[in-house]
Structure 1
Amino acid sequence: MSSLQPIQALNLDSVQQQAFVKYFHSLPDKPPTTVRIFDRNDYYSVHGVDATTSAREVFSSISNIKRMGIEPNRLDYLVLSKGNFEILIRKLLLVRRYRVEIYVTEGSVKSCEWMLKYKGSPGNLSQLEEILGEGLGSTSDQSPCLMAVNIKSDTVTKGRLLGVACISQGDYLLSVSEFTDDDLLTELETIAVQMAPSECIVASTENDDYKALKKVMVRANITLTKLKKSDFSTEGLIQDLNRLLKFKESQQQDANAFPETRKQVAMTSLAAAIRYTSLVNENTNFGRFRLVTIQPDCFLHLDAAALTALNVLPELGDTSHAPSRSLLGLLDRCRTQHGKRLLAQWLRQPLRDINLINERLDIVELLVNSSQLRLQLHDDHLRRIPDLQALARRLTRKKANLHDCYRIYQAINRLPSLLQCLAEADNATVHSSLAEPISELNDDLDKFQQMIETTMDMNAVDRGDFLVKPSFDEQLQSLAEEIEKLQSSAEKELSKAARDLGLDSGKSIKLEINPQNGFYFRVTMKEEQSLRGNKKYTIIDAVKGGVRFKSNALEGITEEYLQAKSSYEKVQDNVVAEIIAIAAGYSECLFCLSHILSRLDVLVSFAVAATTAPYPYCRPLLTEELDEFVLKEVRHPCLEVQEGVSYIPNDVTFKRDSCLMHIVTGANMGGKSTWMRSCGVAALLAHTGCLVPAASAKIPLLRALCARVGATDREDKGQSTFMLEMIESAAILRTATPDSLVLVDELGRGTSTYEGCGIAWAIAEKLATDSKCFCLFATHYHELTRLPSLHPRVVVNSHAEASVVDQQLLLLHRIAPGPATHSLGLHVAKLADLPDTIIKYAEEKQAQLETNLFEVESSVKTEETSEGQRLIVDFLRKCKKIQETVSSDEEMMQEINKLKQEVLQQNSKYVRSLLMT
């Protein structure tokens, strides 16, 4: 990171400072996600809250911030060198997704004659290309994505160095990342979830790294394809990038200028991906692609297990998008295709920037409260917008036609009425983040509209034909006149044929045309007898619609007509090619417009989903402090919309000084899992910028959301339920931090009771004491309810309430404080109609086992506990020494048995109780 040299402070006297402070405060209001930067020729300055934002981005500290002016109107400011200015612009636009306004002065830098000269946003970087270069720009629309991964041994850390590259051809985007990862490839899984590739290519190998990578891709439902190792060679890569990448005007046409190309392992993956997709074989790709670094830390950490546990996306192959089956299905009220893609991306990439989250929430809350605005946008404006991203890509690839141009023209025509609708909201955030960018793009696209109006035959459009105006080209005009004359001649032949056959022209006999036969006459089967024996006419065929026939004169007209039509189409094709080439110049504007409209579409979709829910949603309060996490009367949004469901809401409360972990017990089907999922879904929705299904919500800004929920296995992949639990639990332990939410449900199944209980205990205690994360830990091991006594003010007990009334189990679906008083598994078994003999025997066995466990617990509580533990430790130490001295297994077992008898002779109740169990 470059230092702040040599400029440290503004070179302004007190009068000039006061004048600038006054001018700065006179500027119109803006959201915190717009940063204003002032160009002072040799350096730049940023002021107010923007100074704090900029200092954190560039220097990771606010120590460089200074103050100008006099009390009470003092103003914070930060001075940036040109190098730091570029770093800031890149981070704000490409990482934080903020907007930037750059002011320049018309006179002296010491005067206050400022004007807004440049503006940039994540979806519109055209004015800042000289600073950023389009190679680093990105659009947010999600399109099919290919990932390539290469793993090398890191000689410095002795770990795994991963190079990842993604190609999104629909966005003309190349994304790369290089990082060290653990043996479970946790970071790779996070990137895979965020980028959502449909396929991952790797070098052909069968080592442990490949096996770990394969497990990640299996969990994320990503197809894995092996390539030859030689495909991961960077030979010729720079030359390919020089052709594919879009460089800024003043930049040397050399891909080496991009810092991403210094990520050597990532470049091997990018080279393989480019070869696999044959990008350089299509010349329309040249000068179009951007190269960016993947930024996973900008989003809430989610792995595949969390996506599955919270039902964020529908299962593969599920095209129903049913609201009760997934969050995507519930929230997808989008009216545009690019909006639908962006919604899925937002759900995979919940934000971690509180300003960006609140900006989304501001707009959604406005739309919820303004039904007229919401309905106008949803039911009228947005549903008429075509897939502009796909149309822009067709233009770029020279695959578009006049119909595509007309669809774009129609969308642009709707923008003024859409802008008028947004203006009626009279909201600064809506104006800055939506209306103003759309208005500017509308101005940029004005000449596109003029071109379409000048070149297209709008009268033909009404008939469903998309043609160039004949008057646009002299040759077309001449051919059009010839075609019109031939049509007129054909009409005369129709009148002549009607007189010859005694039929009514245009009614019982008609003139028709098709590409195969040209002009022909047609009469109904009823009038067919009038043709019999008439040698002037030749019958073409007889079909259900009637008899088709022609005359020699009409056939001659047809030949001339088809020849003229063919010539017209050839000339028109040349004109259309010129139109498409000109229209392709507007593709960047169309990509930007697509992004902004899809963003509006998703926000409207959030509002529609919230207003059509059975019960009201609330706006969550996001905080940067990790003191508490409180949800009042939270509901599961997918479950409450199911038919016939009357949802019972519950509260979730975490407080740093009293309750970080809930040990949740209670009857099966009592609502434990639903309660936990509703908490996770609320956190995810809040970070996405959506209202949450609760009476109120106070949610800290989280780094990660981890979940281990559900009893599933992957027999086809060789993974049992227990193995899958252990893999997911290991990932949670490595990921969880104090700013994480962890959901664990019924851990420890698939192995012995004591092993399972021990594992669940160890994991719960680790999460509570070391990770110190917010955690809901549901378990069927009642022993875990002792944890609160060992870790007071950290762990608490909660349970799903249930009652037994007249030998019938009544599940209340309420979560209450304290542990479950007793297990209700036998009552659940009765509900499942298990035979009475089995139930009775189970009750007897339960009583016997509980008696033995009571004796164990009683002995643990006596004063002999410490003495018994000392005897066992001493026994184990002696066993270890025996292993070092004896020469055979038989001799070792003899010595151990002797030691065992010595321990038993001590008559320790603690030892005997352990042996009995």
Structure 2
Amino acid sequence: MSSLQPIQALSLDSVQQQAFVKYFNSLPEKPATTVRIFDRNDYYSVHGSDATTAAREVFSSVSNIKRMGLEPNRLDYLVLSKGNFEILVKKLLLVRRYRVEIYVAEGSVKGSDWAIKYKGSPGCLSQLEEVLGDGLGGADGNTPCLMAVNIKIDPVTKGRLLGVACVTAGDYEMSVTEFTDDDLLTELETITVQMAPSECLVPATDNDDYKALKKVMERTNVTVTKLKKTDFSTEGLIQDLNRLLKFKDSQQQDANSFQETTKEVAMTCLAAAIKYISLLSDSTNFARFKLSSIQAECFLHLDAAALSALNVLPELGDTHAPARSLFGLLDRCRTQQGKRLLAQWLRQPLRDINLINERLDVVELLMNNSQLRLQLHEDHLRRIPDLQALARRLTRKKANLHDCYRIYQAINRLPSLLQCLSEANNATVHSSLTEPISELNDDLNKYQQMIEATMDMDAVDRGDFLVKPTFDEQLQALSEQLEEFQSSAEKELNKAARDLGMEAGKTIKLESNPQNGFYFRVTLKEEQTLRGNKKYTIIDAVKGGVRFKTKSLEDITDEYTQTKTNYEKEQDKVVAEIVGIAAGYSECLFCLSHILSRLDVLVSFAVAAATAPYPYCRPVITEDLDELVLEDLRHPCLEVQEGVSYIPNDVVFKRGSCLLHVVTGANMGGKSTWMRSCGAAATATPDSLVLVDELGRGTSTYEGCGIAWAIAEELATVCKCFCLFATHYHELTRLASLHPGVIVNSHAEASVVDQQLVLLHKIVPGPATASLGLHVAKLADLPDSIIEYAEAKQAQLETNLFEIESAVKTQETSEGQKLILEFLKKCKEVQESITSDKDMMLEIAKLKDTLLKHNNKYVESLIA
């Protein structure tokens, strides 16, 4: 009979449970990345597999999961408080990048009539702002960016033509681009890294291009959402844009005047994004958005692998070890808008030398002027609220008087901030920071005057945010009535004090709260004076004293409460008017937020540089990259880890003497760390810095060596870019003698002292003198028989490699290299012309047979 008992957590009897189970099982199928949550007024519930997901996210355990219904139709469920519900939704959307559906009962929550009231996805959080308020933001404070991608065949080149649109509703920004891409969608990955979308919309299809797109999004941690192909239609788009876009006064009020609208494929993406996040359903979006082109070429091209290998950004949800990433290391920002801009700058390294040096000028000034740096970091910036979020609340008519006052406080600080910056007496600071802040301060002066004229500043000191009663005649009349009722209540206090023989305000006090209104309070010692006195009604007797009232005081409370309700309704009208006027300043506030975030990041850089274990120095950047010299280079994240004594190393590239380092040495010797340090330290230029670590590991020894050899030569002699090439193929050290003045050898130094392997983590010139692999095996106490067999096998392999070395020294080398180059070109043609993997491999096998028929020893030694 126990299974028939109601489950108290859900307050459902067995019949209601069965009805809900039947309803839940009738819902359409969904992916595991969508979680359904049911709003039951005072709490929430999740069911089935979603209960397991929620339990792991919120409680890190499934022990709280219960079961409802009768056999055989039992259903797992989990009950969540409002606080746990908020934790779950934030984790699902911002860390897991899942989708959320919130169901609300159309009738009684005990019934089975439910409907989806709110939906949320990583790129569309607007509906959930009503549920979660302003707390919904990324780990780095980012407002979600939604991307949409469509792939067509270019009618001219017959290649892949990609359209991309990005919409950041929180910033009222739309940006688009259109380009042809390769089969790996390399350019798309670059743009995805730069724009950092949370979600990507694509047409529902499963062809190879969209499979490649899915892989790109998986690498960049972006949720992919498939839409109907009809959603990617530009029908009615121009009319929609005419309502959403903000036109300049001198600009033709027609979206067709934007050159971006000529990008036909990109416009299909923009149409899909606008529809998906329902921008037109909210009138506060009208005449707010900016439309621009994505300028990917302005920034260094980074893919997801580079971001990960160089530890640029923290992993999603990783807040425990900030120094594990460059973002965590450099983030000394005082404002939320600063943190957002820092993440953006790290994803979008500049390529313009003048813009780079402008930033460096300010950071150097702040490094050298510790007083200015501390004033900005410890005083001014820490008092600046998230102006971008507050400006958006104004625009959406969601702001209150407290929000308006926080903006007022921030603007009040601008004169002292400007005074602080002016003392720097620096042209770059003046033009990029002081002057634009000063102009905005002048524009916001009337906002200050409005707040001072309308807000009761005396009430603010008490923690209340109210409109001045004198600002509105109706408010003034109601305020006077409230004062009269307060006075009447105090007269009742004096009357009761005389009656009870007590001292008003001391032994008997007048107090009030929202539950009871006005009441009297005396200490427990005085309780006996009230006994049997029918004039007084005792409310309760607690440790703090006895609370009681009279009929007259109760009547005053009723009138006071009604008048206060009327006052609040009238004030709400005035507040709505104030917020409406304040919303007119939102554009200025967005601009001010951007400039202050820029200042915050530059101060953050200076603080990080000044407080590093050994202070950072300013790089000297030249227009023509003839050399790259990094002296005593350290890895910024590793050197701050506990227990690490970092050994600095130099990196030197010079055209005419050294373009490519072939880096050899023992595992754990520091090769990869040296390369990553170099990658993290380089400033971005149109010339590339290439880092290759252990190329060829996924294939046979000889094929891997051949591939690594060919790529190294191509980078050094054709691309002619600076390159660090770490490898365990010791044969590659011979490249230095073939290409003097271009390729040099370097190695991570290690030695054996008293039968102990010592890794010195020092990069020195020349190739590694010997392989330490067998010695490491001896230190690991492997059996002597295995060591002896390995030594014999090594000798045999080195003998086989003699043919490669001999071939390198003959004229067959150049002929063989030409044959391999021709072979690779033909392979590429086959790859581009044949879509079937099976057919492609057959053709490549034929080309390989043809290559071997030339009987070239160089080729044979590489492929054998």
CA, structure 1 residues 540+802, in 2 after alignment: closer, same or farther (shift >3 Å)? same
- In structure 2, the partner of 1:86 is none
Provide the rounded CA distance (Å) in 1 between the counterparts of 2:621 and 2:681: 12
Provide the rounded CA distance (Å) in 2 between the counterparts of 1:603 and 1:524: 59
Answer whether contact 1:659 1:793 (CA < 8 A) is retained.
yes
Answer whether contact 1:149 1:163 (CA < 8 A) is retained.
yes
One of 847, 851, 855 as aligned partner of 2:791:
847
Pairing 1:161-172 to 2, within 5 Å after superposition: 161-172=161-172
SS at match of 1:448: helix
**Residues 1:609 and 2:608 aligned together:** yes
1:856 counterpart letter in structure 2:
N
Pairing 1:60-459 to 2, within 5 Å after superposition: 143-320=143-320, 322-323=322-323, 325-459=324-458
- In structure 2, the partner of 1:465 is 464
Structure 2, unaligned runs of 5 or more: 1-140, 821-848
**Residues 1:655 and 2:654 aligned together:** yes
Deviation at 1:526, TM superposition (A): 4.7
Deviation at 1:142, TM superposition (A): 5.5
Aligned sequence identity (%): 77
CA, structure 1 residues 756+485, in 2 after alignment: closer, same or farther (shift >3 Å)? same
Task: Give the stretch that moved more between structures: 230-239 or 332-341.
Answer: 230-239
Answer whether contact 1:652 1:679 (CA < 8 A) is retained.
yes
- In structure 1, the partner of 2:551 is 552
Answer whether contact 1:491 1:511 (CA < 8 A) is retained.
yes
- In structure 1, the partner of 2:497 is 498
**Residues 1:675 and 2:663 aligned together:** no
Answer whether contact 2:777 2:787 (CA < 8 A) is retained.
no
Provide the rounded CA distance (Å) in 1 between the counterparts of 2:663 and 2:588: 53
**Residues 1:751 and 2:751 aligned together:** no
Q: Deviations over 1:560-618 (max 9, x none)?
A: 11111111111111111111111111111111111111100000000000000111211
1:285 counterpart letter in structure 2:
N
Pairing 1:747-896 to 2, within 5 Å after superposition: 747-829=695-777, 834-837=780-783, 840-860=784-804
Task: Give the stretch that moved more between structures: 496-505 or 288-297.
Answer: 496-505
Q: Deviations over 1:344-380 (max 9, x none)?
A: 1111111111111111111100000000100000000
Provide the rounded CA distance (Å) in 2 between the counterparts of 1:799 and 1:196: 37
2:633 counterpart letter in structure 1:
V
Task: Give the stretch that moved more between structures: 254-263 or 266-275.
Answer: 254-263
Provide the rounded CA distance (Å) in 2 between the counterparts of 1:416 and 1:276: 43
- In structure 2, the partner of 1:514 is 513
Deviation at 1:911, TM superposition (A): 12
Deviation at 1:857, TM superposition (A): 3.6
CA, structure 1 residues 480+913, in 2 after alignment: closer, same or farther (shift >3 Å)? closer
SS at match of 1:800: strand
Answer whether contact 1:859 1:865 (CA < 8 A) is retained.
no
**Residues 1:532 and 2:531 aligned together:** yes
Deviation at 1:853, TM superposition (A): 2.5
Provide the rounded CA distance (Å) in 2 between the counterparts of 1:591 and 1:871: 64
CA, structure 1 residues 161+468, in 2 after alignment: closer, same or farther (shift >3 Å)? same
Provide the rounded CA distance (Å) in 1 between the counterparts of 2:807 and 2:688: 40
CA, structure 1 residues 749+467, in 2 after alignment: closer, same or farther (shift >3 Å)? same
Q: Deviations over 1:501-531 (max 9, x none)?
A: 4444334433222223222233444544443
Provide the rounded CA distance (Å) in 2 between the counterparts of 1:429 and 1:464: 41
Deviation at 1:820, TM superposition (A): 0.6
Provide the rounded CA distance (Å) in 2 between the counterparts of 1:150 and 1:769: 38
Provide the rounded CA distance (Å) in 2 between the counterparts of 1:741 and 1:870: 27
- In structure 2, the partner of 1:8 is none
CA, structure 1 residues 910+663, in 2 after alignment: closer, same or farther (shift >3 Å)? closer
Answer whether contact 1:855 1:913 (CA < 8 A) is retained.
no
State the TM-score, normalizing by the size of structure 1: 0.72
- In structure 2, the partner of 1:482 is 481
Provide the rounded CA distance (Å) in 2 between the counterparts of 1:519 and 1:536: 16
1:314 counterpart letter in structure 2:
P
Answer whether contact 1:630 1:652 (CA < 8 A) is retained.
yes
CA, structure 1 residues 377+867, in 2 after alignment: closer, same or farther (shift >3 Å)? closer
Deviation at 1:421, TM superposition (A): 0.5
2:180 counterpart letter in structure 1:
T
Answer whether contact 1:668 1:828 (CA < 8 A) is retained.
no
Provide the rounded CA distance (Å) in 2 between the counterparts of 1:796 and 1:233: 56
Provide the rounded CA distance (Å) in 2 between the counterparts of 1:816 and 1:678: 16
SS at match of 2:322: coil
Moved over 6 A (4+): 863-873, 908-915
Answer whether contact 1:520 1:554 (CA < 8 A) is retained.
yes
CA, structure 1 residues 828+460, in 2 after alignment: closer, same or farther (shift >3 Å)? farther
1:783 counterpart letter in structure 2:
E
Provide the rounded CA distance (Å) in 1 between the counterparts of 2:334 and 2:189: 31
- In structure 2, the partner of 1:62 is none
Provide the rounded CA distance (Å) in 1 between the counterparts of 2:737 and 2:253: 67
Answer whether contact 1:199 1:224 (CA < 8 A) is retained.
yes
Provide the rounded CA distance (Å) in 2 between the counterparts of 1:599 and 1:864: 55
State the TM-score, normalizing by the size of structure 2: 0.76
Deviation at 1:626, TM superposition (A): 2.2
SS at match of 2:657: coil
Answer whether contact 1:856 1:914 (CA < 8 A) is retained.
no
CA, structure 1 residues 544+425, in 2 after alignment: closer, same or farther (shift >3 Å)? same
Structure 1, unaligned runs of 5 or more: 1-140, 688-701, 704-738, 877-898
CA, structure 1 residues 380+808, in 2 after alignment: closer, same or farther (shift >3 Å)? same
Q: Deviations over 1:74-118 (max 9, x none)?
A: xxxxxxxxxxxxxxxxxxxxxxxxxxxxxxxxxxxxxxxxxxxxx
Provide the rounded CA distance (Å) in 1 between the counterparts of 2:344 and 2:816: 56
1:823 counterpart letter in structure 2:
S
Provide the rounded CA distance (Å) in 2 between the counterparts of 1:598 and 1:306: 26
Provide the rounded CA distance (Å) in 2 between the counterparts of 1:394 and 1:762: 58
- In structure 1, the partner of 2:80 is none
Provide the rounded CA distance (Å) in 2 between the counterparts of 1:866 and 1:417: 76
Answer whether contact 2:150 2:265 (CA < 8 A) is retained.
yes
Deviation at 1:868, TM superposition (A): 11
SS at match of 1:850: helix
- In structure 1, the partner of 2:832 is none
Provide the rounded CA distance (Å) in 1 between the counterparts of 2:182 and 2:286: 37
Provide the rounded CA distance (Å) in 1 between the counterparts of 2:859 and 2:337: 68
Q: Deviations over 1:156-207 (max 9, x none)?
A: 1121111100111121101111111111111111111111111111111111
CA, structure 1 residues 772+845, in 2 after alignment: closer, same or farther (shift >3 Å)? farther
CA, structure 1 residues 568+821, in 2 after alignment: closer, same or farther (shift >3 Å)? same
Answer whether contact 2:482 2:563 (CA < 8 A) is retained.
yes
Answer whether contact 2:778 2:787 (CA < 8 A) is retained.
no
1:280 counterpart letter in structure 2:
L
CA, structure 1 residues 870+445, in 2 after alignment: closer, same or farther (shift >3 Å)? closer
SS at match of 1:210: helix
SS at match of 2:695: coil
- In structure 1, the partner of 2:568 is 569
Aligned-residue CA RMSD (Å): 2.8
Answer whether contact 2:807 2:857 (CA < 8 A) is retained.
no
Answer whether contact 1:321 1:330 (CA < 8 A) is retained.
no
Provide the rounded CA distance (Å) in 1 between the counterparts of 2:708 and 2:811: 27
- The structure with higher relative contact order (CA 8 Å, sep 6+) is 1
Provide the rounded CA distance (Å) in 2 between the counterparts of 1:868 and 1:162: 45
Provide the rounded CA distance (Å) in 2 between the counterparts of 1:758 and 1:406: 68
Deviation at 1:543, TM superposition (A): 4.8
